[in-house]
Structure 1
Amino acid sequence: MINRRDMLSRSAAVVAMLGSAGLLPTAAQAAYNAAVFDMKTMAEVVKALGGSAPTESKDVTITGPDIAENGAVVPIGVATTLPGVKRLMVMVEKNPSVLSAIFDVSDAVEPNFATRVKMGQSSNVMAVALMNDGKVLFAQKEVKVTLGGCGG
């Protein structure tokens, strides 16, 4: 019968072996410029990420409540069926930092994400798709907040 101490020592040996072979993941590191999360407008964020002027598109969809009871946890979904999407972003127009979330998309990732954002007041929420060719497409939805999430 194997005891706990033997199991831990064998597990440590397996982890060391996998690590030395390069089969363990390295530490995750953000590939984004932290300054984009401090920008105040969608145009500034898109320009900093290398995109062109944003245009509205029906191929990008955003889902969320018409009225959010609590601005601290507003459920938002963003998706697109377009091929060649590089990034999908969630932006809240009247938040102190317009960019709320950013997702990298590859051929192995379906461009369909759900998250929760914090909203201080009623505002337009935008789903923004940055394409591989630099085009920027977006959809927007107005979300009304009854209880502010940013100290309200």
Structure 2
Amino acid sequence: MKNEFIDAPDHTRRIILKGAAGLAAFGFTAATLSSAYAAADAKAWPENAFKQKSEADALKALYGKAAEASDKINLDAPEIAENGAVVPIAVATTMPGVTGIAIMVLENPFTLAAAYKIPEGTEASVACRLKMAKTSKVVAIVEAGGKLYSATKEVKVTVGGCGG
């Protein structure tokens, strides 16, 4: 009769080794895929738009046109941000044909804070945490059907996040 306790360590060792090999393979695959996506997106990166200091210049560099105000954009931002280093912002819309969403903080050193491309057939909704230097208007820009729409909300910052 075989002793069950003698085989237990070997069985446990085999399970651990299989798990470690699986994790290593997953890590290699994830690293390979993420670097492939980063290389693909690098060509389309709107570097010049992120260097602009005004809303008009950032819009021109990113989209090449101006935006009109819309009540069909839901811009969710706090009225008061106690810490400007981590201000939660969310933008959503039910407009058809959304291809891009951008978020601007008008009083930051560089106005454009985030820009997203929205793939066809997906829900037009993004959320992030931004740094805000001081109290400022936050502007959400939605590109839909070849036009630009905007929504604005003022956020009061009590402790600055961009060196303030």
Shorter-chain TM range is 0.7 to 0.9
Q: State the distance in 2 between where 1:80 and 1:145 align.
A: 26
**Larger fraction in helix:** 2
Give the aligned residue type for 2:50.
Answer: F
Residue 139 (1) aligns with residue 163 (2): no
Q: Under a length normalisation based on structure 1, what TM-score does the superposition of the two structures give?
A: 0.82
- Give distance in 1, aligned partners of 2:133 and 2:86: 11
Q: Deviations over 1:27-64 (max 9, x none)?
A: 22232121211111222222222342211000112111
Indicate the SS of the match to 2:37: coil
Q: How far apart in 1 are the matches of 2:155 and 2:25?
A: 53
| Residues 1-152 of structure 1 aligned to structure 2 (within 5 Å) | 1=11, 2=14, 4-5=16-17, 25=33, 27-29=36-38, 30=41, 31-133=44-146, 135-152=147-164
Residue 21 (structure 1) aligns with: none
TM-score (norm 2): 0.76
Q: Residues 68 and 145 of structure 1 are in contact (CA less than 8 Å); yes or no, is this contact kept in structure 2?
A: yes
Q: Distance in 2 between matches of 1:111 and 1:47?
A: 22
Query: What is the CA-CA distance between 1:125 and the residue it aligns to?
Result: 0.2
Q: Which has the larger radius of gyration?
A: 2
Q: Which has the higher contact order (CA 8 A, sep 6+)?
A: 1
> Given that residues 96 and 145 in structure 2 are in contact (C-alpha distance below 8 angstroms), is that contact kept between their aligned partners in structure 1?
no
RMSD (CA atoms): 2.6
Alpha-carbon distance in 2 for matches of 1:85, 1:140: 18
With over 3 angstroms needed to count, the CA separation of the structure-2 counterparts of 1:34 and 1:6, relative to structure 1, is same
Number of residue equivalences? 146
Extract unaligned runs of 5+ from structure 2.
1-10
Higher mean C-alpha deviation, range 5-14 or range 49-58: 5-14
